[in-house]
Amino acid sequence: MKKLINDPSNVVAESVAGFALAHADLVRVSNDPLFIVRADAPVRGKVGIVSGGGSGHEPLHGGFVGPGMLDAAVPGPVFTSPTPDPILAATKAVDGGAGVLHIVKNYTGDVLNFETAADLALMEDIDVRSVITNDDVAVKDSLYTAGRRGVAGTVLVEKIAGAAAERLDDLATVARIAEKVNSFVRSMGVALTPCVVPHAGEPSFILAEDEIEIGIGIHGEPGRERITMEPADAIVDRLLGPILEDLPFDSGDEVLLFVNGMGGTPQIELYILFRRAAEVLAERGITVTRSLVGNYTTSLDMQGASISVLKLDAELTTLWDAPVQTSALRWGK
């Protein structure tokens, strides 16, 4: 294993320290307990939004802390949920009196620990609501998960809910909008290679030289099937089919098309996927009105990608377009 790290047990702490130095204009970091918080938190009268989970998916979630998106992110160890303690501390740090929304990817550890933290926060009179993301159509009841997994669609939930909070919508409204995004987005991924967890030092699973895994999870957990390598267009068709049938998406829909890299796949390949996905959507009468392409929900150094499609309406489009100032997503003033 070759990685640009020092002691494997310090990977998260050192990376977050570097992140804090690079983005001191946007964030502050609490080291004990460990969480990343918007530099001006808490914002009085604004709903605070906290997300988090195991590390190894960067820029998710720390890269999305800043005005217009998250108020705090709680990074656990690599691929391991943070404990309730830092989640509670982050919740308190972002409470500006209007309550706090937890956005939690659907993995059993994350759900339990955020729930415990929410219960503790309620005992301190902080109003907490939780939204569980579960956009992955690949499998149900996977390793680490009861029900569907939360994957790259979580980025879209965080951006759009973040915009609602930023315009001072109340907690019930921000939670409703987050739920709506989650209910309108579907995702599925593919792995060409496994990832290597630093403290494990070896691949999380094995794929043959000509083999890929369709429906991969973002921790390398099993997907739907292993198949022999195919051209990119055929792989896109395999991912998009189940996504489009699931909601279902219909002719006349307007959508945001999101091609997400798993960390080790170059951008030149992600745009080849985008091209085919846009073509398939056009054939079905679905119009791509917004797009996102890049490494946003990764699985360390895994080669692969996922596709997410979000059905847009006027409310979601307006909130997607609203300004955002984070290290990983930034537009508007």
Query: Which of residues 116 and 327 has its CB atom nearest to its own copies in the complex?
Result: 327
- In terms of CB distance, is 6 or 251 closer to its own copies? 6
CB of 239 to its own copies, least distance (A): 11
With the CA atoms of 201, 204, 206 and 207 taken in that order, what torsion angle do they form, in degrees rounded to the nearest 10?
-120
Q: Which is nearer to its own copies, 47 or 72 (CB)?
A: 72
Alpha helix (H) residue ranges in the chain: 11-22, 84-94, 108-123, 153-166, 171-184, 232-246, 267-283, 314-321
Min CB(216)–its own copies separation in Å: 13
Q: Is 57 a catalytic residue?
A: yes
Catalytic annotation present for 199: no
Output the smallest distance, CB 307 to its own copies, in A.
11
Q: Which two tokens stand for residue 324?
A: 């955002």
Distance, CA of 99 to chain centre: 22
Residue 113 vs 303, nearer CB to its own copies: 303
Cα dist. 226→149, 193, 230 in Å?
A: 19, 12, 11
Label each residue of 191-239 as H, E or C: ECCCCECCCCCCECCCCCCCEEEECCCCCCCCCCEEEECCCHHHHHHHH
Nearest of 135, 128, 130 to residue 94 by alpha carbon = 128
Shortest approach of its own copies to residue 127 CB, angstroms?
Answer: 33
Candidates 23, 61, 102, 219; catalytic one: 219
Decide if 105 contacts 149 (C-beta within 8 A). yes
Q: Which member of 23, 57, 61, 102 is catalytic?
A: 57
Binding site for its own copies (CB under 8 A): 2-7, 11-12, 14-19, 21-23, 55-56, 58-59, 63, 78, 190, 192-193, 209-210, 212, 229, 231-233, 235, 257, 259, 263-276, 278, 288, 291, 293, 295, 298, 300-301, 303-305, 325, 327, 330-333
Name the residue nearer to its own copies (CB basis): 120 or 278: 278
Measured from the CB of residue 35, what is the shortest distance to its own copies in angstroms? Answer: 16
Contact 125, 95 (CB under 8 A): no
By annotation, the residues acting in catalysis are: 57, 219
